[in-house]
Amino acid sequence: MPELPEVETIKRTLTPCLREQKIARVEVYHPGVIAAPGPEAFSRLLAGRVITYLDRRGKYLLVHLSGEYCLVAHLRMTGRLVFIEGAAPLAPHTHVVFSLAGGRSLRFVDTRRFGRLYLAGEAELETLPGLRDLGPEPLDPAFDARALGAILAGRRRPIKQVLLDQRLVAGIGNIYADEMLFAAGIDPRRPAASLNQEEVARLRGAMQRVLEQGIANHGTSIRDYVDGSGRQGSNQEHLQVYGRTGRPCPRCGQPLERVRLGGRSTHFCPRCQV
DNA sequence: ACAATTACCTGTATGC
DNA sequence: TGCATACAGGTAATTG
């Protein structure tokens, strides 16, 4: 499930394939995945535009286009954006095909159809619901312990739920939230405001380390995630707690536990995380 | 203003 | 074997 490191990896793998490519034609096989504008306008407005560069904001992928337009993608759970070299048959659940020159294409594939594509003018990007209310980028150098402390201050919700709230910090999902709280040695159920200064500093460091490791490993492929070239990442081999209920804690050997927090399964070590 | 809950989706795993 | 059910979870919308 694409979180910040996965979307960053997709951005990096797609960039050399898509830069300066012209979109010749757009086929929409499932209109429901186009959030805005309507599916016909989506195709019509995209045709003929040249991809200038790719960007990421939180879990959103931004494909900047000539003529001050931008294609925005959110892959949610099972969405994939993959670059295809030749005339390969359409994979099941292919909902949109962006045809490029020379038989190449960019394809949006999403089994569960949670993912959404938006086309917007550059000027209206800041007003897109979702993008508009995103919190700061956790890998921004400006995101220091003081910035994190300000976000946590006065919040009584469990720290994990605060980390998952995209309006407070952008890009963190269920897997990396569990991993960074383990790395910081903090119980995911603790009220956010109960963290002292030292714990906030530790968490901020853990957030950056865990996200950077995820990017270095090209993302976590547990079920569906693949990068822009269709390749899996390797970070699933480095997970310490996520999906490891009952197995020994890598630090102390105590069996890892799972609880439900805000409807999400939450994995942690009852001894190391206090 | 904030917090908790539900709808959206389908493939996979599990229980009987 | 076949069927029903649970589960995965990010976000928008809804309810409290």
A263 is near strand B: CB distance < 7 Å: yes
Residue A212: per-residue pLDDT: 96
Residue A154: per-residue pLDDT: 85
Bases of strand B lying below 7 A from some protein CB = 2-6, 8-11
pLDDT digits (tens, 9 = 90+) for A211-224: 999 999 999 988 78
Q: Grade residue A108 by pLDDT with cuts at 50, 70 and 90.
A: very high
User: Is the pLDDT score of A86 beyond 90?
Assistant: no
Q: Which nucleotide is nearest to A111 (CA to C1')?
A: B10
Residue A127: per-residue pLDDT: 83
The three-state DSSP-derived secondary structure of chain A is: CCCHHHHHHHHHHHHHHHCCCECCEEEECCHHHEEECCHHHHHHHHCCCEEEEEEEECCEEEEEECCCEEEEEECCCCEEEEEECCCCCCCCCEEEEEECHHHCEEEEEECCCCCEEEEEEHHHHHHCCCCCCCCCCCCCCCCCHHHHHHHHCCCCCEHHHHHHCCCCCCCCCHHHHHHHHHHHCCCCCCEHHHCCHHHHHHHHHHHHHHHHHHHHCCCCCCCCCCCCCCCCCCHHHHCCCCCCCCCECCCCCCECEEEEECCEEEEECCCCCC
Residue range A77-102: mean pLDDT, rounded: 92
Q: Grade residue A128 by pLDDT with cuts at 50, 70 and 90.
A: confident
Q: Grade residue A205 by pLDDT with cuts at 50, 70 and 90.
A: very high
A77 is near strand B: CB distance < 7 Å: yes
User: Is the pLDDT score of A170 beyond 90?
Assistant: yes
A156 is near strand B: CB distance < 7 Å: yes
